[in-house]
Structure 1
Amino acid sequence: MKINIHRSRWKRLRWPVIGAAVVASAIGSAWATGWRFNSTPSEPLGLYRLTPVTAQTVIHRGDLISFCPPVTLYPFMVHGACPNGGAPFLKTVVGVPGDVVDVSASGVSVNGRLLPESKVIVRPKAWPGLTLPAAYGIHKLGAGEYWAFGSGDPGVSFDSRNWGVVRQDRIIARSSG
């Protein structure tokens, strides 16, 4: 009596392989149509639908933007396809062209309104010995300049408080708020 080992192996693996192919296809389709999962504390945990940004895209206060941050790669950043070797960030737009942003020891004010929990973090507790930049001062946002803020847990977010404006040419996609 001859047992075909290849056939019995395929029978055992057929449904797991088909299931994995279906899941991989669904994830690939979701990614291709702009769906992203955020697991960082900077924005609320969840699934977000992002649309590509062009020169004609209007970005509003409250929109979530995905962009390549204008900083060097820090040890807490995820590796990715941005010019600095990191992955794009997802942050909330709190300042738009024409706004005046004031970064001081008290925190960040946009047009005179202090954002809650917006003090600049230069020495993150999770990374002893690491010193981050700070964008202290008054910033008048010009055309194509935005102020990004991690509204999920601002107490640990690395955002415009640290590096300043995000220029529209760095913005990859947005999700309306």
Structure 2
Amino acid sequence: MQSMSVTIAKRLPPARLLWWGAWAIIGVLVLNAVVGLWMQHDHLVFNDSTCESVGFYKLLGSPYPLHDGELVEVEIPGPAHHAAVAEGLKYHWFPAGQPWIKNIAAVTGQTVKLARSGVRVDGHMLPNSRVDRWTPGHHHRIIHYPFGMYHLKRGQVWLYAPGNYAFDSSYYGPIPESHILQRAAPWWTIPGSQFWLGKGD
């Protein structure tokens, strides 16, 4: 197969190869633009992290009033005030400026207990919420929010994601509710993809 492709390449003049390459690039750019316009028109966003199931999520408008258990689109917290977010941006764990899809675990007035073993909201343990010490492969130690009991103040929200190596409030703490952009719902996702990365120690 390799020798055949080399033979074909030798037969084609350089100008023809350049022409084909240019049209391939144009085709990719056009397809990318069409997909972008379609997603914008249908209010869809794509999640490629394993915090939540990988796939498309539909944005449903205003998230207010906020309720625990809801799925939402979230603006990334400011790295200047959140050491874990600054660390994530430094090591490119997520792109800067791209909103996240997360669950609201707790809102104003609720109590969160954060421990290595996981997160409890008003006494109820959140599934798969154990706080990780290391990134996959033990490449980097992960900064987490101080363990303890937190009673959420007015305007605070605690975020949660059920996937393995989920980056949520266990690492950067509660965020202002003004960072919640819209309600969201799965549109087309891959079930179980949030568990693709195996849990470490």
Shift in alpha-carbon separation, 1:32–1:172, aligned structure 2, 3 A: farther
Inter-partner Cα distance in structure 1 for 2:161 and 2:138: 18
Cα RMSD after superposing both structures: 3.0
CA shift for structure 1 position 53: 4.5
Q: Map Cα deviations across residues 56-90 of structure 1 (whole Å, 9 max, x no partner).
A: x2122222222213421421422232xxxxx3222
Matched, 1:116 2:124: no
Q: Match for residue 84 of structure 1?
A: none
Inter-partner Cα distance in structure 2 for 1:67 and 1:21: 28
Bigger proportion of residues as helix: 2
Q: Secondary structure of the residue that 1:129 maps to in structure 2?
A: coil
* One-letter code aligned to 1:67: E
CA shift for structure 1 position 174: 2.4
Shift in alpha-carbon separation, 1:90–1:135, aligned structure 2, 3 A: farther
Inter-partner Cα distance in structure 1 for 2:185 and 2:151: 23
Matched, 1:68 2:82: no
Inter-partner Cα distance in structure 2 for 1:135 and 1:34: 36
TM-score, structure 1 normalization: 0.73
CA shift for structure 1 position 35: 0.9
Identity of aligned residues (%): 23
Structure 1's unaligned 5+ residue stretches are 1-8, 82-86
Inter-partner Cα distance in structure 2 for 1:96 and 1:176: 19
Structure 2's unaligned 5+ residue stretches are 1-18, 187-201
Inter-partner Cα distance in structure 2 for 1:63 and 1:30: 22
Shift in alpha-carbon separation, 1:30–1:126, aligned structure 2, 3 A: same
Which residue among 87, 95, 103 is the counterpart of 1:79?
95
CA shift for structure 1 position 149: 0.9
TM-score, structure 2 normalization: 0.65
Inter-partner Cα distance in structure 2 for 1:31 and 1:80: 20
| Cα contact 2:57–2:185 (8 A) shared by 1 | no
CA shift for structure 1 position 118: 1.3
Inter-partner Cα distance in structure 1 for 2:50 and 2:185: 19
Q: Match for residue 36 of structure 1?
A: 45
* One-letter code aligned to 1:68: I
* One-letter code aligned to 2:118: G
Q: Match for residue 3 of structure 2?
A: none
CA shift for structure 1 position 130: 2.7
Inter-partner Cα distance in structure 2 for 1:172 and 1:127: 33
| Cα contact 1:102–1:139 (8 A) shared by 2 | yes
Inter-partner Cα distance in structure 1 for 2:41 and 2:149: 39
Q: Match for residue 156 of structure 1?
A: 165
Inter-partner Cα distance in structure 1 for 2:175 and 2:105: 11
Q: Match for residue 183 of structure 2?
A: 174
CA shift for structure 1 position 23: 5.8
Number of residue pairs matched? 158
CA shift for structure 1 position 115: 1.3
| Cα contact 2:131–2:144 (8 A) shared by 1 | no
